[in-house]
């Protein structure tokens, strides 16, 4: 069992567990007194406001906030104490949408999606639809958490799932600091097991990508350089191979916002994000081609807006009333957290965008 | 007048030096940017050199900047500390090696 670092903000009763409190912080202070421009003002400089959704390409479904880990900077505030879990009925509604939608990518996330009791049923049903890219975001340690998960590499392989996993660093110290004691060793073992069934091998169709996000109040470095360093170290130290590394910026919400405030890094971090603002990244931010579906079936522009409880600006607000035509061209709902996706080379669930 | 000589907030104002000397300021930043590009040395190696020099120069702005830059590049605490020891070793070596000058002088003046 992994030693838990903390409880979720929700369990602790922190006021930052409330989305409106987070939004209040992001709208006041340096953004209210004019020290820094709001995201709306910034994108208006290059006539990119309002940000509009284009054709839907990626359906990202959050099947629940329960997780076996309590990572320091989790934007979901996930953990073992979270009870929000997608039901099979909602999954059925999602399947109907997957069948009819023009999206080429299905992206399952959580929490640890594998902890949803209907996860395997959902993967089996969804894989029958024949979607081009079927992603499961696995935290790796879940594969070693309990005997009932030991066969996950084989299960993923059987359904040709594209595995995307978090790995904050190639050293134990930095990984365990962010994700909990013992996480590094279990992640390494899980990666070796994924490699053993063919995942991540150079010519393999079984895709294994890693996600890197910084362990503290700084932005990710160059994605290509980081990928090179990760590949070299993981191969030399553990014989592990993977395909691509996605460098993702931490957005200032939930537990990361809590960390920024507690460590007195909030203002500096927001300055970093604003100074690194890249108008080219705005053109390709993921909310313009992605739709995020929550555990209870509501629709959001992205997983971050889901956590901030900012629903889509459309008549279709729930999976039960999904209307792709209505959703296309909708105005994206923004706040200052959006700077996280437009800093430097940009950031998305698929890595850099610019 | 501020109460301290160094204010961390001044670091992010660095680019403002061009306001009082545009041509030279711009040339400096162009040169600076070019120096840190990937070349025969990787940008990561250059960042560690910069961190070591930041310490030997005892520049608080540079220490903040290149500590953060190192973290962004995945540099570990151990690598950072080793780089600083390289700088410290050269600094102390540079002091000590002048001891030969002192010895030469003593030998000349006092046999």
pLDDT digits (tens, 9 = 90+) for B14-62: 999 999 999 999 999 999 999 999 999 999 999 999 999 999 999 999 9
- Taking contacts as CB-CB distances below 8 angstroms, the residues of chain B near A214 are 71-72
> What is the tally of structural domains in chain A?
1
- Which residue shows structure tokens 């340690």? A141
Reply yes or no on whether the pLDDT at A168 is more than 90. Answer: no
Question: Is residue A116 one of the residues assigned to a domain?
Answer: yes
Question: Is residue A133 one of the residues assigned to a domain?
Answer: yes
- Taking contacts as CB-CB distances below 8 angstroms, the residues of chain B near A230 are 74
Render pLDDT for A256-303 as a digit per residue (tens, 0 to 9): 999 999 999 999 999 999 999 999 999 999 999 999 999 999 999 999
Residue of chain B minimizing CA distance to A233 = B74
Whether the CB-CB separation of A8 and A77 falls below 8 Å is answered with: yes
The whole-number average pLDDT for the span A63-90 is: 95
Which residues face A300 on adjacent strands? A292, A311
pLDDT at res. A2:
45
d(CA A189, CA A177): 18
Residue contact A173–B42, C-beta within 8 A:
no
Q: What are phi and psi of A133, to 5 degrees?
A: -125, 115
Which residues face A292 on adjacent strands? A60, A300
pLDDT at res. B96:
97
Q: How far is A300 from chain B (nearest CA, A)?
A: 30
Across the A:B interface, residue pairs with CB atoms under 8 Å apart total 34
Whether the CB-CB separation of A170 and A234 falls below 8 Å is answered with: yes
Rounded alpha-carbon distances, angstroms, from residue B6 to A110, B62, B64:
45, 12, 12
The CATH architecture assigned to B42-110 reads Up-down Bundle (1.20)
Q: What are phi and psi of A208, to 5 degrees?
A: -130, 110
- Taking contacts as CB-CB distances below 8 angstroms, the residues of chain B near A174 are 76
Question: Is residue A27 one of the residues assigned to a domain?
Answer: no
Residue A198, token pair as written in the block: 């063919």
How far is C-alpha A146 from the geometric centre of its chain's CA atoms?
A: 24
SS3 state at A290: strand
Question: Is residue A81 one of the residues assigned to a domain?
Answer: yes
pLDDT at res. A5:
59
Render pLDDT for A2-48 as a digit per residue (tens, 0 to 9): 444 578 999 999 999 999 999 999 999 999 999 999 999 999 999 99
Reply yes or no on whether the pLDDT at A96 is more than 90. Answer: yes
Question: Is residue A88 one of the residues assigned to a domain?
Answer: yes
d(CA A234, CA A240): 5
Residues of A with CB under 8 A from a CB of B: 169-171, 173-174, 212, 214-216, 218-222, 225-226, 229-230, 271, 275
Range of the domain at A228: 9-21+50-259+286-333
* Sequence-separated (6 or more) residues with CB below 8 Å from residue A169: A175, A178, A212, A215, B74, B76
Question: Is residue A75 one of the residues assigned to a domain?
Answer: yes
Reply yes or no on whether the pLDDT at A1 is more than 60. Answer: no
Residue of chain B minimizing CA distance to A212 = B74
d(CA A203, CA A212): 23
Whether the CB-CB separation of A102 and A324 falls below 8 Å is answered with: yes
pLDDT at res. B2:
64
Whether the CB-CB separation of A19 and A66 falls below 8 Å is answered with: no
3-state helix, strand, coil split of chain B in percent (to 5) is 80, 0, 20
Residues A27, A28, A33, A35, CA torsion sign: negative
Nearest to A219 among B12, B42, B72 (CB): B72
SS3 state at A42: helix
Residues of B with CB under 8 A from a CB of A: 12, 38, 42-44, 68, 71-74, 76-77
Domain holding A73: CATH number? 3.20.20.70
Can the peptide bond before residue A50 be classed as cis, meaning omega within 30 degrees of 0? yes
Question: ipTM of this model?
Answer: 0.79
pLDDT at res. B1:
55
């Amino acid at each position: 069992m992994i030693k838990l670092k903390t409880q979720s903000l929700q369990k602790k009763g922190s006021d930052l567990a409330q989305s409106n409190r987070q939004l209040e912080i992001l709208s006041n202070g340096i953004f209210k007194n004019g020290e820094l421009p709001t995201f709306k003002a910034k994108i208006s400089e290059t006539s990119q406001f309002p940000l509009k959704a284009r054709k839907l390409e990626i359906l990202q479904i959050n099947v629940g906030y329960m997780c076996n880990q309590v990572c320091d900077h989790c934007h979901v505030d996930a953990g073992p104490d979270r009870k929000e879990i997608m039901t099979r009925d909602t999954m059925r509604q999602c399947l109907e949408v997957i069948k009819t939608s023009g999206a080429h990518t299905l992206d399952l996330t959580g929490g640890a999606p594998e902890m949803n009791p209907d996860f395997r049923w959902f993967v089996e049903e969804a894989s029958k639809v024949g979607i081009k890219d079927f992603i499961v975001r696995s935290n790796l340690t879940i594969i070693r958490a309990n005997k009932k998960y030991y066969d996950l590499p084989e299960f993923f392989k059987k359904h040709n799932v594209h595995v995307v996993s978090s790995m904050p660093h190639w050293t134990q110290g930095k990984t365990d600091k962010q994700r909990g004691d013992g996480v590094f060793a279990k992640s390494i073992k899980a990666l070796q097991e994924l490699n053993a069934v063919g995942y991540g091998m150079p010519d393999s169709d079984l895709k294994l990508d890693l996600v890197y996000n910084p362990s503290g109040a700084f932005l990710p470095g160059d994605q290509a350089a980081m990928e090179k360093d990760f590949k070299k170290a993981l191969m030399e130290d553990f014989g592990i191979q993977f395909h691509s590394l996605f460098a993702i910026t931490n957005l200032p919400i939930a537990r990361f916002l809590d960390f920024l405030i507690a460590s007195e890094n909030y203002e500096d971090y927001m300055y970093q994000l604003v100074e690194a603002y890249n108008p080219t990244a705005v053109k390709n931010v993921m909310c313009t081609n992605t739709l995020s579906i929550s555990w209870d079936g509501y629709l959001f522009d992205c997983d971050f807006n889901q956590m901030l409880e900012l629903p889509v600006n459309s008549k279709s607000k729930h999976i039960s009333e999904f209307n792709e035509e209505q959703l296309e061209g909708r105005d994206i709902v923004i706040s200052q957290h959006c700077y996280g996706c437009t800093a430097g080379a940009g950031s998305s669930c698929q890595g850099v965008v610019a | 007048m501020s109460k301290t000589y160094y204010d961390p907030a001044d670091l992010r104002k660095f680019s403002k030096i061009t306001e009082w000397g545009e041509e030279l300021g711009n040339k400096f930043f162009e040169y600076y940017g070019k120096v840190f590009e990937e070349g025969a040395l990787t940008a990561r190696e250059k960042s560690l050199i910069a961190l070591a020099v930041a310490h030997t120069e005892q520049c608080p702005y540079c220490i903040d900047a290149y500590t953060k830059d190192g973290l962004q590049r995945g540099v570990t605490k151990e690598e950072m500390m080793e780089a600083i020891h390289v700088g410290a070793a050269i600094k102390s070596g540079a002091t000590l090696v002048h001891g030969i000058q002192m010895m030469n002088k003593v030998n000349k003046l006092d046999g």
